[in-house]
Amino acid sequence: MLYLSFVIMKDFVAPVSLAEPTEKDNVDSAALERYLREEGLYESREEAELREEVLGKLDDIVAEWIKGVAEKHGQSKDDANAKIFTFGSYRLGVHGPGADIDTLCVGPSYASREEDFFGSEKHTLQSILGRENGVQSIRAVKNAFVPVIECVFRGISIDLLYAQLAVPFVRTDLDIGASATLRHCDERSVRSLNGCRVTDTILQEVNNVDAFRVTLRALKLWAQRRGVYSNVTGYLGGVNWAILVAYICKLYPNAAPSVLLSRFFWLFRQWSWPTPIMLRPIEKDSTLNMPVWDPRENPRDRSHLMPIITPAYPCMNSSYNVSESTLQVMTDEFKRGHEMCEDILKSSNLEWSKLFEPAVLFSEYKHFLQVEVSATSKEDFELWEGWVHSRMRLLVKSAGQVIDLRPWPKAFKNENDENDPNKYRCFYFLGLSKKRSVTRHSYDNAMVLPQTNVDLTPAVNEFAHKVKDWPDRSKGMDISVQHITYKKLPKWLGLPEKRQKKTAATTGKRKKHTD
């Protein structure tokens, strides 16, 4: 069985090569980093210092907040403590100018999320932040999968999560990486804690953190330019890319970024999914007894197409949104990335910009699904558009069973729509093409054959029904989905009258899309 053999292998992620960088590798890597800096991926020293100041102030605010909560609940103010941790791109050291800082507040058992973290009462952290000078645009998202307070603090965007430990005292030397920290925590606290635990574990698994960071910055920029950076759409998000890069770093622990980037595309263009990517063995703890990813025991896990497993307990698949269509798109892009890297590294004139050329959806396809999202007020539109976007993967998954499609992760808006009474609207586009014959490498090794006649009506109707059935939907929130050809695309997109033709062939029978 594919999964079992991988999970119980003795040498978990053994290095493929321990070779040190050559002089050419260092030159190529320096050129890559220089290109990333020219593209504005690194923040200024002033912004970095401002972030440190904001985090320091936030730490002071949390320290005062927990004392007030302790007093309210009859606990000792002298012993009261809460801690701030960072995670995500900031903790990994790959954030760019203007990026959010993902932060976690860890508090004791008597400080509850519902009554002390959120709320309008004077003692709550939400209320204290709202009164703080320099804090703007504060927004509490209580019902999210991971509840969060969003705010802008002196120009720095902050996403603040909360974890309520099951102990009355938070130690100043709290080891958030210890699995015992999760004991008796509620599910939302476990999810919040695991953001930090996963980020820290990824860094621990990497031999050369500087090389990891340059490579990850490059991959994130590449994925954004090529339209495959979006967990919610069915592609990969920040933590997924970080785990994949860390895996390559374990295979080539001494390699320079240029080599790591090239090896990344070389490996994943041919990876036999759903063989999982794991940085360390899956840990099971009978004393905590939390569910972990295990396709041998969990039938649902067997349906995952591109398992990228988080390295901290409880280990989960971080890429469960990936569908057949988005996996195929990413595989095609990995193949292109490999070809581009090969050409760039062989050339005497290094041009890393060729790798990062943006994909242009509209030149690649003749047929599209157009999803129009509209509302009659700005507030309603922001809520409605967020909901529709989060459900888009349902359309991708169902329609992708009968046709190949490429969803573009970002919405398109007509910037000259000011005089339109329905100006609160946006459009999502999905490129359509005939389904390829592929073998699904899973337990059944099923062959997927293309259909001659394709009817997307059932998939579209099911998607529209599920989206419109949102309990918070109000009057004026609407959605329409229709099939259109290139010639019928909105004029305001500014596209050429005639679509660019596809040119050179790539590996396999499918032709390469021109950008």
* Amino acid, single-letter form, for residue 241: W
Structure tokens at 458: 């059932």
Question: Of the residues 67, 83, 220, 250, which is catalytic?
Answer: 220
The C-alpha atoms of residue 396 and residue 194 are separated, in whole angstroms, by 28
Six token digits for residue 355? 């790798």
Asked if 307 and 293 count as a contact pair (C-beta separation under 8 A), the reply is yes
**CA-angle at 466, arms to 462 and 469, nearest 5°:** 140
Active site residue 469: no
Burial level of 124, CB count in 10 A (0-12/13-18/19+)? buried
> Which entry of 3, 35, 229, 320 is annotated as an active-site residue?
229
Secondary structure class of 138 (helix, strand, coil)? strand
Catalytic residue, chosen from 25, 29, 35, 102, is: 102
Active-site residue flag, 102: yes
Q: What is the DSSP letter of 19?
A: P
Query: Looking at 28, 116, 159, 404, which residue is catalytic?
Result: 159
* DSSP letters spanning 330-361: HHHHHHHHHHHHHHHHHSSS--GGGTTPPP-H
**Tokens 């030149």, residue located:** 363
What is the residue type of 343?
D
Amino acid at 22: T
- 210 as an active site residue: the answer is no
Please indicate whether residue 420 is annotated as part of the active site: no
d(Cα 205, Cα 26) in Å, to the nearest integer? 23
Compute φ and ψ for 128, nearest 5 degrees.
-65, -40
Largest Cα span, the chain: 73
Helices 324-346, 257-268: axis angle to 10 degrees equals 140
Q: How many residues belong to the chain?
A: 515
Report the alpha-carbon angle 55-56-57, nearest 5. Answer: 90
Angle ∠(254,92,407) on CA atoms, nearest 5:
100
Catalytic residue among 28, 35, 83, 89: 89
* Cβ atoms 268, 334 nearer than 8 A: yes
Compute the distance between CA of residue 203 and CA of residue 190 in angstroms, rounded to an integer.
20
Enumerate residues 6+ apart whose C-beta is below 8 A from 45. none
Half-sphere exposure of 489 (CA within 13 A, CB side): 27
Peptide bond connecting 314 to the previous residue in cis, omega within 30 degrees of 0: yes
Identified catalytic residue from 59, 100, 285, 478: 100
355 Cα distance to chain centroid: 21
Active site residues: 89, 100, 102, 159, 220, 229
